[in-house]
Structure 1
Amino acid sequence: MTLLSRLLPLSSPRLAALTAVTAAATLTLGLGATAQAAPSADANASGVAAAAADSPNPFAAAELDGLRARQLTTWHAGQPLTHWVLALDEETAARDYTGGVFFLYAPATGDRGFFRNLDVLASTVKDPGHVVIADAQFIRSHPRSEVRYGDPARPDLARVVATSTIWM
């Protein structure tokens, strides 16, 4: 169980503050090194990159199915900040989704991850276009991470729509 999932019972104002601080820390500490990268560009990361260690893409070592790595530029205090994220690929995002929500799940541990919905972290999103994973640490710390669609309370019954696998 992750620290954030333990803190979810917090009241709304405290959770909102925690979410904002966590998002800022993730962007500043974990992904700030790529801030000087070129403006948004898609990267084909649908396989394990041969030179993953040399790549600025923190997801380069992951084998992706239904996901693509891309750079996303956001503006903070008038300054551009470019960082890497995972999003559903076009084919996966175009499928029909009704009756559930998307959530990030590590099946080996039962841990849940978060999507970045604008500047706020969200445990679930309804729109496939909002499936944006900015937490490279979550992906790297779980050999298999899955984007599932369905009821988060019943992850075993939810449909796996995309995966990230790191072969150890």
Structure 2
Amino acid sequence: MIRRTALRALTTVAVTAALALPLTQGAQAATPNTAAPATTTPAAVVNSDDDNPFRRMELDGLRADFQFMCPTGHCVGFWSLVLTKDVAQQDFDGGKFFVYAPATGEFSFFLDTDIAVRTVDHPGQVRLVDIEFMRSHPRVEVRYGNPGQPDRARVVASATTLM
């Protein structure tokens, strides 16, 4: 139990650090648009397709999303994949969401708040950030069902790396 908690904490720190460095450098270089309305958030200013790591992927049921996370009071921006509205509004009952690479049978994780988790219960919790996993597998799927039987689970979304 302690070992699993320590591994989860270490994974979260590693993901946060890996995502934070290049994105905070980009955020520091971005200058706010003074002509923008007062309701503009920093994410709208920094949100640029130039640094979107998912732009060379074919997404089905997923969309790239840029947001900020403030784990220790220091905010960092990061890209992730989330379910599209039409997929998230479907009925899901009796299973879990998980990330699966069908070619290799490997699993990845979601980022739930600031914790890396293997499964989530609700469509709004689906947030993929493991860019290396997605790039190292030709197709990654978000499935819903029993992670112990991934071949029987329903494919709800996918990301295919374009070569």
TM-score (norm 1): 0.81
Deviates more, 1:91-100 or 1:74-83: 74-83
CA–CA separation in structure 1 for the residues paired with 2:67 and 2:2:
28
Match of 2:139 in 1: 144
Identity %: 45
Structure ranking higher in helix proportion: 2
Match of 1:114 in 2: 109
CA–CA separation in structure 2 for the residues paired with 1:40 and 1:101:
30
Which structure has the bigger radius of gyration?
Answer: 2
CA–CA separation in structure 2 for the residues paired with 1:67 and 1:92:
8
How far does residue 87 in structure 1 lie from its aligned partner after superposition?
0.5
Q: Does 1:64 align with 2:59?
A: yes
Give structure 1 stretches of 5+ with no counterpart: 1-11, 45-51
CA–CA separation in structure 1 for the residues paired with 2:96 and 2:124:
12
Aligned length: 148
Give structure 2 stretches of 5+ with no counterpart: 31-41
Match of 1:40 in 2: 43
Q: Contact 1:103–1:125 (CA<8 Å) still a contact in 2?
A: yes
How far does residue 58 in structure 1 lie from its aligned partner after superposition?
1.1
Structure 1 runs, 4 residues or longer, greater than 4 Å off: none
Q: Secondary structure at the match of 1:40?
A: helix
Deviates more, 1:31-40 or 1:107-116: 31-40
Match of 2:80 in 1: 85
CA RMSD of aligned residues (A): 2.0
How far does residue 30 in structure 1 lie from its aligned partner after superposition?
4.2
Aligned partner (choices 147, 156, 161) of residue 156 of structure 2:
161
Q: Secondary structure at the match of 1:104?
A: strand
Match of 1:100 in 2: 95
